[in-house]
Structure 1
Amino acid sequence: MRIFKTHQMKKSFLKLNICLILLSILLVSCKKNENITYDAIKDSLELNEDVEENLSLAELIASTNQLSLLTEALLATDLPTTLDSKYPITLFAPTNTAVMELFELLGDDYNSFEDFDSLLEQEILTRILTYHMVEGNLSSTDFVTGEMQTLYEGNTIEFIHTGDTFVISDASEIDAIPFVLDKKATDGTLHIIDKILIPQDVFEFLNTLNPPNTVEKTIKELIEENEEFAFLKKALVLTGLLDTLGEDGPFTIFAPSNNTLTGLLSALGIEFESLDDFNTEEEIDLLRDILLYHVVPGTLESKDFRIGPLVTLSDENSISIDENEDEYVLIDATTLSSEFLTTDIPAQNGIVHVIDRVLIPESLVNQVANSVSLAFERVMENAGELNTALEFFRLVQDRMNLEVLSEKEFTFFFPSDQAFVDLFNEIGYDKIQEFNNSEQGLEIVKIILSYHCVENQTLKSEDFRNGQVLNTFQGDELGILLETDIFVIDKTAKQSKLIYEDLEVLNGFIHVIDKVLLPQEVLDSL
């Protein structure tokens, strides 16, 4: 069985929807177990009297056995930094029992908060946890009937008093009952409650995605009703494909979310700033081809993924399923991989998987590469001192897989004209054309330029740090030295100074340097 991040491929979105909707029932699961008295539970939750009194909230939670799962949840979302903030926080802590009931409802794919590892799951968990926090150091005597703002901005909980006791109301029908009150920490106060609190928007969002006791929606309806697919919806309407996704099918769609689809525009070039710029029949056909490249006939669930090609509806162009670190990924015509954010959103006429980037068909590869090349040329021509670098860039651009730079972050160090003159003198070349006389010469140019490009980082001059190590597209590393100026250091320990900085292009920056950087691979061949 294929392993995905220590569990089976990205938990079924249906499970996620149903189970989180069931949080409103989990909620019911906190109906009192007739075999366990409240007093017994309360006694088991009392803090160890030997615990030091000067603990922080995070330490107080960690020292309470019945709150160990809350500690895991906080760590899974990096929220301990919130607890370490400058102002005091009042936290309503659900017990392990409440959390375990959540896991039971979620099913076998959820055994700990480490399984909340998709962007959607992380976001929902963060919203739920911050909904349990209130600014200020509040004792139980400070709570009055009415609403109180939580740290999840715009969302309130409600206190309802009955005599000397109170309950806490959220978006569900079941109120939370406090077990233990007024446990003081150095940075706030802890109150322990018997259920998880659910904010209104999370409750409504999940019910919108998959309302209980309703027939599954078509792919068209799912896209229409989910704001995360607003950009995709507009593109499908423009190309006349949205209605197609409402037909019988079945279809499997690999759906890019709003954030990833906007990257398509920059990849296509500066003439495309919005979908409104697709206004000719040829441009709309191009967009339609891109969208069809994301659709596969039939219903393909994640459990049925296998390494190999998938024929799409884009003139039988294929995408491929491959694996990366025990996860399945999609490979398009650029050979770039796309990861799954969420899988197995069920529909009446197929299934939807959400991916983290737009898939580029073969018909678009050259256009994307050309738009990247044009963007670089404009910036380099305007910069001056980069004429030689630009000639080298043009010489090997077909070898450099430039379409990668249309979507990835990068930082490019381009040597100045004088830097290349110095290199030519050093290695005995008279002019650029000598590199063009052989396959080996062209390969050397490609390797050198790839060594000047830092991958997956957009670094302005203010972002460099002394001793910083940078990974390049070529594979070797560069170092940063900060003195009065900024220096880049190559394999020869040569110090190349930044002489012109922060030229913005696409998703990255260009910096002009005064020496050519040489990787070990080139040093060995010269």
Structure 2
Amino acid sequence: MKMKNFLKTVLIAFLTITVFSCSDDDDTTFPPSSTTIADFVAANADYSSLLAALEKAELVQTLSEEGSFTVFAPNNAAFDALLTSLGVTLDDLSKDDLTPILLNHVLGSRLTSTQLTTGYSDNLAGFSTYVNTSSGVQINGISTVTQADIEQSNGVIHAVDAVITLPTVTTFAVADPNFDTLQAALTDLTPDTDYATVLSTANGTDPAPFTVFAPTNDAFTDLLDRFNIEIADLTAAQLEIVLNYHVIAGANVLAADLPGIPDGVTPATLQGETLTLNLEGGAFLRDKTGVDSEIIATDVKATNGVIHAIDKVLLPNAALDALGRSFTAVAFNGGEASDFSSLYAALRITGLNDALDSATMRTVFAPTNTAFDALLDGASLEDLPVATVTQILLNHVIDGKLLSTDLSTSYANTLATFGDTMNNLSIYINTSSGVVLNGGMANGGATVATPNVETRNGVIHVVDAVIGLPTVVTFAVADSNFSTLVSALTDLTPATDFVSVLSTANGTDPAPFTVFAPTNDAFSAITIPGESELTPILQYHVVAGANVRAADLSDGQVVTTLETGTFTVNVGSSVTITDENSRVTNVVVTDVQAVNGVIHVVDQVLLPMM
């Protein structure tokens, strides 16, 4: 008796079976389509085992009633193969044993061979059925349709060559080619852990049931690209940590149950760490890298759990030490560094969280929640245009890994861009006293509070403010080489509000601007005149309505300025300007790009004809 009960248990949780060839009965004459599915089975001797099973399970009446069923019908050879492999007879199986197995062959709607598509459907047993039509029709990777479209009055029958045993979560991982890489990771790449056996554990037997978040093949490709590695580079121990992080044991969490997870934090995974669930704008799982994985398919139901397909591989803290830390792992998630949850939210809204988790080396100036609170002043991130938030965030990122010792007083390019061009905005770094960006908080910039948080793909410097998008005035004020110019634009010409004019938003007349900015040394070489003469001199350094970069300058080009005067550009081994007084001035720095124009630094004050 104990052996018989054991064999029944094996049948209920049976994962895969050896596929036996079925015998075709060429003499079988199918009844006309006016008969029911039950009539068809009863009338054909090659389905006597199926009929006996249906009678024992008291399902003949179900398949005799009006309805619209699809039945995958195993013949006698298919039943014999299964029973022989298990060492039992049909008499050894009870109604309770047979009912779910038989209903596992029945879909609740009529689907002919031309209507069957590759994917999942729920069957009458309450589990999922995976149909693969890429080469013929296969069911759960176990059974193949040998004769299709046997039409009956209450549905359609497709003859199959094997009994479709009750699926475990492993059944679907093996059957679905979208999980080929996952299957390889669970088997060939982790030989010391028998995942197939673990994930085939019968429901109610520890550690089943399971909720499995199953990464697709594309998800694994994304992981390898992010870390710039091959899957062969990962050790079995690393893979086991990662794979265990995708499984919640002792819970069958369906999609409908996800909103009920307390505080959005999942139960502990087999690996031991938790996941954070976010249902805003979709269904996302956040791992310890801070990268969101979207749940792209839900409720693949097995006898011992449920599978949800996801588009990224999830990484716990334990895996990060082995694989290398990423930007988001260190600073952009609410678990490991909650002071950066606003920054992470902004990254997610803009879709930049994935970009900053790539293999490209970068330097990030990371504002804290306090910095974001000061920027928003009671508003929310969602109130801002996504395009604006995107550019603000990109204005905090520089290509390449630059530790504080690598930074010097100079201009660098951020990933933000001017208008709809590919011209990157500049950032002014001042290292004379700490590291100050774009003149510090008072000038719309920031100061580095915590430097050198190294990551796998670069370095983070924590800053005390969100760095605003710079105007040409931002750089004039931030760069101490322009202190005399700033004084001339403000204190010495109070009748003209140069600051307001040169802060005009791009695309609003007279912006954008091209500014030829004289240094302090340039001003020291002249006697600064009074306001009436100084004002047109300053206007003579500004071109309105154009963002003229160095690449746009040509030899002999005549430029009309805001003062309506002109000067001539000479392009050779260097760029020079000849003003209306025939004085030649050198352009010593080019393309300091602001959001409303560009600055070129000159070593003399340009003088118009007055």
Question: Structure 2 length as normaliser, TM-score?
Answer: 0.33
Structure of higher CA gyration radius: 2
Question: Structure 1 length as normaliser, TM-score?
Answer: 0.38
Pick the structure with more helix per residue.
1
